[in-house]
Amino acid sequence: MALRKLQKIIKYKEKITWYAARGRFITEMISADIHPVVVAEMAGNSPNTIYKHYYKNTDYKKIDAKVDKVFGC
């Protein structure tokens, strides 16, 4: 039942599994600039698992913009 509610909230049309929902949650949190260590805590993973499987799914343009901002470029 909770999974169906989640499916409606995220407007996901196809059948969804708990595994897919969890992966989507982790990916969205990282995309929203929530630190991977915090996401790992929320998801019950180790930070290494988050870095290995999810953190690579980031927007490199956003990262470049942040680096430019830090270094004043």
Q: Which residues contact 42 (CB under 8 A, 6 or more apart)?
A: 29
Model pTM score: 0.65
Domains of the chain, by residue range, sit at: 2-71
Measured from the Cβ of residue 70, the count of other Cβ atoms closer than 10 Å reads 8
**What pLDDT score was predicted for residue 58?**
65
**What pLDDT score was predicted for residue 68?**
93
Cα angle value 59/42/36 (rounded, 5°): 30
Q: What is the pLDDT along the chain (73 residues), one digit of tens a residue?
A: 688 887 888 787 888 888 888 888 888 888 888 998 999 999 999 989 888 888 775 678 888 888 999 998 7
